[in-house]
């Protein structure tokens, strides 16, 4: 089986550097410069995988990123294995291991292969049709379908490689370094444009560099020799950056492109270490030149998928670039002249070409004579009707085509071969062009979609622009470049060009066979196993839109996105439905052009860098004191402080008791703080809050509720008047940025006449909230000079004081219902002041508490948390907070909406308290509430929004929103849970100290 098919040394292959690698567990050898595909072919291995649906043996078809079949698992035995890598793109290195996909137990003996014989049972839409009956069985089917779905095996541990992102700004970006791209980049750079040239391959020069076609001449030299000189000159050009192994994945609006630069995949393990594996280039280019070339089309005929059947251009690349023969007995099958070039290349290297089968009647290209001279037999107007060989092609049967091309006549001729090159013409690689939002146009004569328009920011040159012949390419490139770059002259103007021209054309999307189509397998999408038969079936069943046919048949939905067969699918649909291809359009080309690994997409934003954490100035103290943390927005807030082996419940119960019985302290630094100044500051607050602000005295605080224009509660917090024209507003922790944004919006767009300035000062202050009956004594120890009497420093007022010469703002405000003081200090002194409070509080057993205790304490008092007890559908009236809505003010944000018929309805969901019949049962937040247990369907009246076991009341308490709850005081309702129904009674929202006596205790 192993046989060396290396035929001739190639300048691109380093034969002094022998490399061993493993494929499917077996060791093979190749050379530096080989891809996995070329090295396998050199070892005469064509069978590399099984197809997705029928598990048919499949071989290498192409030599590039369009490969549908040879997709392999790299490092198959490692946890960080990579699936769906294209063997045609993997550069081999010492120690490379890869294996076949989609086969079990092995590629040579695959159990799933039985699907091939069951194929009549797997028509298009098989899954949709079969597994919907009976409906209730879906869950059972799903288990099996999921097990057989998907290609390859995903890695199951964290990707250990390093990925990076880089922003690049350039004047001109050239995508593709074939002959057009090289000339474009060179001329752009020489004309002082900062130019970036990208190519997905490791060598520059595209297909010209290895074409070895002596008939293509530039300045009387062969084109490939001329191009080599041009490439050598690139090194000396300033302003030009070249990146190879870099594939453009996406082309977005405004010339924003994403490219993946592959840096280490071709290196041996020790050289990969500690290096960046791939880099995502985020490119913003002033101008983009697309020179992405063209992809060769296959031909669609019966059993056109056997290992050994390859694109003609790929066979040429393997022989000319890698020095590898794809077979010992080669046949070409074509509808154009390019296969003759491939055949001649092979012949000149001593590789046997048995015959060329051409569906055309004739061609008068010069190359035909050379083929005749070489003694290669040409079968004109013939087609292949079948192929033989299961794991490797062994022969083809051909017949004469009828004049109209729809049927075959005459005798069947069998020819044996082990490699078949198919050449169906060329498709411009317009993927990036269409991704950019530009439209394609269809050329009926040449049967290609090509870019319709060039713009000031973007052009397509070379074969991706629809120019295939050397003289066309160079002449049009010269003209386009001058216009696009606005230059007078290119440096290749006036060169002499000689090349052959193709004159004879014949295109048949689906080639006929002597068998009926139902008995044939003409594959259109190799990777997804979609045949021409499936497409015709879809049309018979009524599908018309190309997008629908695609989804129904899965044509073009593999990892290769149908780069090879999409045109044929369109052609077959157009022919069958009797419409023009131009009118049919194409399916959408979506990024990425070739698959990207997640690592490349996320770059450095992994682990601790995934998101930014905000930490308060007291964070170190919390850590030292063993706090558990909770994420609130981006903030890390201390959640509770467990002592020894306390559970969360035990810790919270202890903290809650301490705060009410003696003293507690909370880090409230995360609350949003907005500094508001200006002569219209009071008027501004009047407009943004529901209550009145003009009469708030300097040094006083007031609670405010902010609505959206739709009348729903948006945020709340205490605002303090620091001076005549100076306020400090606090917002919820999570709402800070949005509140500031909303206030700015109104100031700038609705009320630009107001003299108001907003500054976010959240990060500038640290806040320690002292709470409990002993808080006054503690504060007195810290600031003995300050008169803390209720007369001098009453509830809802503010003092500016010095603590150890540090200017602090103290607000006597309370979110717990206890006497409490919020000490705001400049952030950098936050921890020092906190420590001071802790020291001073020691004799009172001051207890630090976290967010959980804070939530519990405020729930005992019936204070809402915006976002927990509200959800964007609650008005202040719904919250039973009508007292805070000013009746006198003419207008404020959301006022008008409070008088809409819907918001005025009596039986809206309203906030109420709930008490469980059994005081030990704590309701689940989010649980539904009903009034009936035996009714079906039962009406959901609302849900529980906050629920705790209160240690201070020694019973369970909850807040809930209940339909018409206001009128249900004392009503018995039920909370149905999975295993029991919990009886509850509707109660007042305030459970503790209803008269607010403790505030002044």
DSSP designation for 749 = I
331: Cβ–Cβ under 8 A, 6 or more apart, which residues?
Answer: 353, 354, 355, 356, 357, 396, 415, 417, 419, 420, 421
Reduce the DSSP state of residue 412 to 3 states and report it: strand
The number of beta carbons lying within 10 Å of the beta carbon of residue 801 is 15
Does residue 620 bind other proteins (CB under 8 A)? no
Cβ atoms of 833 and 803 within 8 Å: the answer is yes
Stretch of residues binding other proteins (CB under 8 A), selected from 777-785, 891-899, 911-919, 979-987: 891-899
Phi, psi for 533 (deg, rounded to 5): -60, -45
Q: What's the token pair of residue 947?
A: 């629920």
Question: Which secondary structure element, helix H or strand E, spans residue 992, and what is its range?
Answer: none
Q: Is the dihedral of CA 252, 256, 257, 261 positive or negative?
A: negative
Output 743 or 782, the one with its CB closest to other proteins.
Answer: 743
Output 106 or 588, the one with its CB closest to other proteins.
Answer: 588
Does residue 763 bind other proteins (CB under 8 A)? no
List 158, 489, 896, 980, residue binding other proteins (CB under 8 A): 896
Does residue 677 bind other proteins (CB under 8 A)? no
Stretch of residues binding other proteins (CB under 8 A), selected from 100-108, 472-480, 747-755, 793-801: 747-755
Half-sphere exposure of 895 (CA within 13 A, CB side): 17
Provide the strand spans (E) within 581-737: 628-632, 635-640, 664-667, 672-677, 701-707, 713-723, 726-731
Output 489 or 900, the one with its CB closest to other proteins.
Answer: 900
Give the closest residue to 851 by CA, choosing from 992, 669, 719: 669
Does residue 750 bind other proteins (CB under 8 A)? yes
Does residue 901 bind other proteins (CB under 8 A)? yes
List 895, 963, 966, 971, residue binding other proteins (CB under 8 A): 895
CB of 256 to other proteins, least distance (A): 4
Output 117 or 254, the one with its CB closest to other proteins.
Answer: 254
CB of 884 to other proteins, least distance (A): 19
Size of residue set near other proteins by CB under 8 A: 23
List 752, 784, 926, 970, residue binding other proteins (CB under 8 A): 752
Output 559 or 897, the one with its CB closest to other proteins.
Answer: 897
Question: Which secondary structure element, helix H or strand E, spans residue 192, and what is its range?
Answer: none
Sheet arrangement for strand 382-388: 382-388, 395-401, 408-416
Q: Is the dihedral of CA 401, 406, 410, 416 positive or negative?
A: positive
Stretch of residues binding other proteins (CB under 8 A), selected from 90-98, 344-352, 748-756, 768-776: 748-756
Q: Rounded to the nearest 10 degrees, what angle do helices 775-782 and 830-841 cross at? A: 120
List 109, 143, 883, 890, residue binding other proteins (CB under 8 A): 890
Output 288 or 401, the one with its CB closest to other proteins.
Answer: 288
Does residue 710 bind other proteins (CB under 8 A)? yes
Cβ atoms of 264 and 277 within 8 Å: the answer is yes
CB of 173 to other proteins, least distance (A): 14
List 153, 190, 228, 252, residue binding other proteins (CB under 8 A): 252
Phi, psi for 669 (deg, rounded to 5): -65, -20
List 516, 749, 954, 979, residue binding other proteins (CB under 8 A): 749
Output 748 or 935, the one with its CB closest to other proteins.
Answer: 748
CB of 684 to other proteins, least distance (A): 14
CB of 240 to other proteins, least distance (A): 24
Phi, psi for 217 (deg, rounded to 5): -125, 140
CB of 900 to other proteins, least distance (A): 5
List 709, 763, 787, 804, residue binding other proteins (CB under 8 A): 709
CB of 902 to other proteins, least distance (A): 9
Does residue 744 bind other proteins (CB under 8 A)? yes
Reduce the DSSP state of residue 608 to 3 states and report it: helix
Phi-psi region of 869 (alpha: psi -120 to 50; beta: other; left: phi over 0): alpha
DSSP designation for 845 = T
CB of 8 to other proteins, least distance (A): 48
Stretch of residues binding other proteins (CB under 8 A), selected from 267-275, 351-359, 768-776, 896-904: 896-904
Cβ atoms of 330 and 312 within 8 Å: the answer is no
Distance from C-alpha of 623 to C-alpha of 620, rounded to nearest angstrom: 5
Does residue 159 bind other proteins (CB under 8 A)? no
Stretch of residues binding other proteins (CB under 8 A), selected from 502-510, 579-587, 741-749, 785-793: 741-749
CB of 963 to other proteins, least distance (A): 22
Q: In the window 930-959, what residues touch other proteins (CB under 8 A)? A: none
List 109, 117, 128, 254, residue binding other proteins (CB under 8 A): 254
CB of 605 to other proteins, least distance (A): 13
Q: In the window 272-291, what residues touch other proteins (CB under 8 A)? A: 284
CB of 890 to other proteins, least distance (A): 7
Bridging pattern class, strands 942-950 and 955-963: antiparallel
Q: In the window 27-56, what residues touch other proteins (CB under 8 A)? A: none
List 29, 131, 141, 256, residue binding other proteins (CB under 8 A): 256
Bridging pattern class, strands 928-929 and 942-950: antiparallel
* Site of tokens 């490692």: 78
Cβ atoms of 520 and 303 within 8 Å: the answer is yes
Does residue 897 bind other proteins (CB under 8 A)? yes
Burial of 673 from C-beta contacts in 10 A (0-12 / 13-18 / 19+): buried
With b meaning 16 or more CB within 10 Å and e meaning fewer, what string describes 500-510?
Answer: beeeeebbbbb
Stretch of residues binding other proteins (CB under 8 A), selected from 25-33, 144-152, 509-517, 746-754: 746-754
Give the closest residue to 566 by CA, choosing from 756, 409, 454, 424: 424
Binding mask 197-226 for other proteins (x = CB under 8 A): ------------------------------
List 444, 645, 724, 891, residue binding other proteins (CB under 8 A): 891
Does residue 905 bind other proteins (CB under 8 A)? no
Which whole-number Å values give the CA distances from 524 to 50, 304, 511, 549, 562, in the listed order?
16, 9, 12, 13, 9
Does residue 872 bind other proteins (CB under 8 A)? no
353: Cβ–Cβ under 8 A, 6 or more apart, which residues?
Answer: 330, 331, 332, 343, 346, 347, 374, 376
Question: Which secondary structure element, helix H or strand E, spans residue 819, and what is its range?
Answer: none
DSSP designation for 746 = I
Stretch of residues binding other proteins (CB under 8 A), selected from 665-673, 778-786, 893-901, 914-922: 893-901
CB of 324 to other proteins, least distance (A): 42
Reduce the DSSP state of residue 943 to 3 states and report it: strand
Binding positions for other proteins, rule: CB under 8 A: 252-256, 284, 437, 709-710, 741, 744-745, 748-750, 752, 890-891, 895-897, 900-901
């Amino acid at each position: 089986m192993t046989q060396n098919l290396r035929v001739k040394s190639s300048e691109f292959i380093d034969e002094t550097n022998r490399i061993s690698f493993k494929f499917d567990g077996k060791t093979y050898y190749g050379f530096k410069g080989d891809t996995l595909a070329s090295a396998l072919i050199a070892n005469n291995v064509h069978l590399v995988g099984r197809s997705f649906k029928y598990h048919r043996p499949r071989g290498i078809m192409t030599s590039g990123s369009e490969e549908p079949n040879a997709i392999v698992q790299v490092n198959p035995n490692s946890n960080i294995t990579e699936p769906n890598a294209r063997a045609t793109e993997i550069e081999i290195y010492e120690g490379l291991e890869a294996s076949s996909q989609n086969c079990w137990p092995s590629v040579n003996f695959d159990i799933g292969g039985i699907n091939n014989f069951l194929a009549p049972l797997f028509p298009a839409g098989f899954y949709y049709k079969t597994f919907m009956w009976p409906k209730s069985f879906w869950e059972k089917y799903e288990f099996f379908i999921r097990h057989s779905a998907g290609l390859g095996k995903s890695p199951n541990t964290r990707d250990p490689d390093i990925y990076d992102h880089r922003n690049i700004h350039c004047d001109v970006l050239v995508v593709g370094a074939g002959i057009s791209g090289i000339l474009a980049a060179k001329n752009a750079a020489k004309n002082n444009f900062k130019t970036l040239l990208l190519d997905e391959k490791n060598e520059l020069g595209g297909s010209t560099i290895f074409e070895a076609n002596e008939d293509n001449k530039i300045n009387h030299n062969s084109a490939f020799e001329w191009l080599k000189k041009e490439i050598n000159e690139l090194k000396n050009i300033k302003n030009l950056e070249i990146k190879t192994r870099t594939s453009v994945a996406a082309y977005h609006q405004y010339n924003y492109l994403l490219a993946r630069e592959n840096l280490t995949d071709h290196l041996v393990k020790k050289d990969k270490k500690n290096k960046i594996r791939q880099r995502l280039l985020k490119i913003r280019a002033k101008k983009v030149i697309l020179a992405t070339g063209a992809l060769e089309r296959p031909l669609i005929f019966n059993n056109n998928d056997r290992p050994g059947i390859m694109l003609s251009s790929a066979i040429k690349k393997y022989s000319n670039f890698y020095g590898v023969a794809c077979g010992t007995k080669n046949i070409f099958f074509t509808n154009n002249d390019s296969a003759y070039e491939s055949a001649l290349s092979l012949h000149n290297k001593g590789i046997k070409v048995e015959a060329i089968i051409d569906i055309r009647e004739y061609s008068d290209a010069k190359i035909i004579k050379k083929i005749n001279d070489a003694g290669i037999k040409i079968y004109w107007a013939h087609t292949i009707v079948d192929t033989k060989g299961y794991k490797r092609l062994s022969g083809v049967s051909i017949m004469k085509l009828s004049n109209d091309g729809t049927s075959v006549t005459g005798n069947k001729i069998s020819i044996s071969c082990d490699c078949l090159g198919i050449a169906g013409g060329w498709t411009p690689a317009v993927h990036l062009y269409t991704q950019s939002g530009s439209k394609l146009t269809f050329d009926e004569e040449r049967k290609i979609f090509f870019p319709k328009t060039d713009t000031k920011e973007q052009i397509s040159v070379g074969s991706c622009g629809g120019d295939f012949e050397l003289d066309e390419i160079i002449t049009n490139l010269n003209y386009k470049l001058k216009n696009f770059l606005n230059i007078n002259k290119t440096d290749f103007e006036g060169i002499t060009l000689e090349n052959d021209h193709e004159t004879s054309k014949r295109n048949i999307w689906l080639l006929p066979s002597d068998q009926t189509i139902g008995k044939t397998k003409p594959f259109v999408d190799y990777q997804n196993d979609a045949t021409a038969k499936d497409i015709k079936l879809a049309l018979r069943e009524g599908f018309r839109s190309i997008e629908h046919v695609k989804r129904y048949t899965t044509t073009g939905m593999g990892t290769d996105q149908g780069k090879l067969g999409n045109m044929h699918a369109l052609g077959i649909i157009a022919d069958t439905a009797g419409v023009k291809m131009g009118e049919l359009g194409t399916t959408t080309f979506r990024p990425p052009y070739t698959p990207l690994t997640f690592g490349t997409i996320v770059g450095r934003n992994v682990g601790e860098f995934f998101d930014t954490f905000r930490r308060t100035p007291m964070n170190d103290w919390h850590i030292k004191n063993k706090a558990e943390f909770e994420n609130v927005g981006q903030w890390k807030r201390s959640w509770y402080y467990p002592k020894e082996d306390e559970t969360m419940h035990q810790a919270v119960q202890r903290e809650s008791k301490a705060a009410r019985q003696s003293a507690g302290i909370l880090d409230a630094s995360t609350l949003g703080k907005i500094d508001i100044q200006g002569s219209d500051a009071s008027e501004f607050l009047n407009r943004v809050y529901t209550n009145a602000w003009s009469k708030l005295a300097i040094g006083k605080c007031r609670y405010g509720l902010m609505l959206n224009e739709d009348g729903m509660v948006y945020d709340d917090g205490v605002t303090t008047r620091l001076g005549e024209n100076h306020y400090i507003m606090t917002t919820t922790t999570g709402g800070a940025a949005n509140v500031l944004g909303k206030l700015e919006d109104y100031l700038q767009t609705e009320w630009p006449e107001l003299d108001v300035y907003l500054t976010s000062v959240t990060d500038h202050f640290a806040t320690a909230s002292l709470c409990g009956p002993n808080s006054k004594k503690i504060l007195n120890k810290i600031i003995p000079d300050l008169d803390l009497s209720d007369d001098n420093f009453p509830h809802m007022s503010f003092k500016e004081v010095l603590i150890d010469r540090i200017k602090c703002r103290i607000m006597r405000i309370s979110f717990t219902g206890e006497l409490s003081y919020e000490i705001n200090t400049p952030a950098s002194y936050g921890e020092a002041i906190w420590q001071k409070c802790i020291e001073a509080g020691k004799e009172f057993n001051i207890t630090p508490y976290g967010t959980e205790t804070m939530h519990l304490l405020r729930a005992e008092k019936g204070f809402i948390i915006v976002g927990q007890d509200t959800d964007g559908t609650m008005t202040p009236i719904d919250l039973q907070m009508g007292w805070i809505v000013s009746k006198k003010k003419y207008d404020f944000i959301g006022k008008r909406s409070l008088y809409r018929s819907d918001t005025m309805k009596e039986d809206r969901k309203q906030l109420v308290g709930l008490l469980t019949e059994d005081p030990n049962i704590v309701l689940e937040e989010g649980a539904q509430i009903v009034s009936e247990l035996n009714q079906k369907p039962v009406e959901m009246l609302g849900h529980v929004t906050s629920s705790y076991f209160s240690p201070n009341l020694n019973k369970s308490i909850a807040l809930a929103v209940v339909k018409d709850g206001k009128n249900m005081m004392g009503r018995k309702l039920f909370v149905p849970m999975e295993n029991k129904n919990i009886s509850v009674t509707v109660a007042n929202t305030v459970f503790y100290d209803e008269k607010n006596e403790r505030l002044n205790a």
